[in-house]
Structure 1
Amino acid sequence: MAITRPPDVGGRTDGEVIGASRGEPERFAEIFQRHWDEIYRYIAQRLGPESAEDVGAETFAVAFRGRQRYDQTRNDARPWLYGIATNLIRQHWRVERRHRRLLARADAQAAGESFDQASDERLTAQRLAPRIASALARLSAAERDLLLLIAWADLTYEEAAQALDVPPGTVGSRLYRIRRKLRRSLGDTNPLRLPEVDA
């Protein structure tokens, strides 16, 4: 499903608004208003709604603090925001993984499964058929991040490259390898042609 980009407020691009917010910090609220819903949805798909509010708020807080470094020639701030959100999602998973290890060491209630399995089950329950979730579990975290930025966030290759801070050509070659891996995992079925599963 294609994402409809919010219209420019008063004809100003994201780059112009962020540039103006360097001298007038309150102007950054326009960036929040334009992009909150989309960034929140992406984070909720990755982490679930319980964590999405906090990670979403932190995404915009990090963006606000880093607005001085934003390249104003980039008219659309979405790739930048998705990159920040992706990094915060990884941090969230690392903290959760560490927390689980501490609980296990303290002989508290043992988590019955690894963090990666729990994450994959959350993805499965929310959006994906079990066979596809199993195939996704075999991808590295970086491969999953790239695939989900393209599939769920509906970013272009160039936008995904900006979000992950890699060259655009790298996105194309990585996606090619990811698709081949998924096809093999699914018994040479094209994952792009699998029937939709009702949520």
Structure 2
Amino acid sequence: MTTVPTTGQPALERPDLGGADAAELLAGLYDAHARGLHRYLSRRLAPATADDLVAETFLAAWAGRADYDPARGTARAWLYGIATNLLRRHARQEVRGLRALARANGRAAITEPLDTAAASRVDAEEVLGTVAGTLAGLRREERDVLLLVAWAELTPAEAADALGIPPRTARTRLHRARTRLRNRLMTEEADRD
């Protein structure tokens, strides 16, 4: 039995999935990246849906293994690209949920006395509503890059590989998304003061 190298080693960074050991290499990729993919997806979707999308990601990777070109990017970026494309099928639900969360901002009934902990929780809920509303208002392309970097912990270059865009475009989209989010949070903070 062949031992599959751990993540960080060249065989899993840019594997040759067209060879006879493709199943073994893909199993190694699953071991190395399934948890991270699930974390990324479950931050954007319900955990059960994230489970399904991780499975679909690896089914799509298996089906498209002959199309994977190690020269274009790492296997990690390729897998996140597949996952992000699958996630786009659920984009309308995601945006609807974020908009509902933003609308619910401030509507929650406070059932305990307003002490420091409760005030902090209310502040956090207000910020969450602001962030959710801002994320919902971002262009899909900007939101995808931002969340790949923030939640999946990909570098902007890896996010570019995952989305099939030039690194400069990914950095520009990331900058725009961060700027809009930062400006919105600063505006909300000023309004509260």
TM-score, with structure 1 as normaliser: 0.69
Tell me if structure 2 keeps the 8 A contact 1:161–1:168: yes
Q: Which runs of 5+ in 2 are unaligned?
A: 106-123
Q: Decide which structure has the larger Cα Rg and report it.
A: 2
The verdict on how the C-alpha distance between 1:86 and 1:20 changes in structure 2, with shifts beyond 3 A counting, is closer
4+ residue segments displaced more than 6 Å: 122-125
Matches within 5 A, 1:1-199: 7-8=6-7, 12-16=11-15, 19=16, 22-27=19-24, 28-73=26-71, 76-93=74-91, 116-119=95-98, 129-188=128-187
Query: Matched residues in 2 for 1:41 and 1:131: separation?
Result: 22
The change in CA–CA distance for 1:122 and 1:145 in structure 2 (over 3 A counts) is: farther
CA distance in 2, matches of 1:63, 1:54: 14
Secondary structure at the counterpart of residue 186 of structure 2:
coil
Report what 1:109 is aligned to: none
| Root mean square deviation, CA, Å | 3.0
Tell whether the 8 Å contact from 2:72 to 2:161 is kept in structure 1 after alignment: no
Asked whether the 8 Å contact 1:59–1:85 carries over to 2, the reply is: yes
CA distance 1:156–1:82, change in 2 (3 Å): same
Deviation, structure 1 residue 66: 1.2
CA distance in 2, matches of 1:163, 1:10: 19
Inter-CA distance 7–76: structure 2 relative to 1 (3 Å threshold) = farther
Query: Is contact 1:183–1:189 with CA below 8 Å preserved after alignment?
Result: no
Q: How many residues align?
A: 162
The answer to whether the Cα contact below 8 Å between 1:150 and 1:157 also exists between their aligned partners in 2 is yes
Cα deviation digits, residues 17-44 of structure 1 (max 9, x gap): xx15632343121111111111111111
From the superposition, tell whether residues 8 and 145 of structure 1 become closer, same or farther in structure 2 (CA, over 3 Å): closer
Shift of 1:14: 3.3
Deviation at 1:145, TM superposition (A): 0.9
Write the distance in 1 (CA, Å) between the matches of 2:140 and 2:78. 19
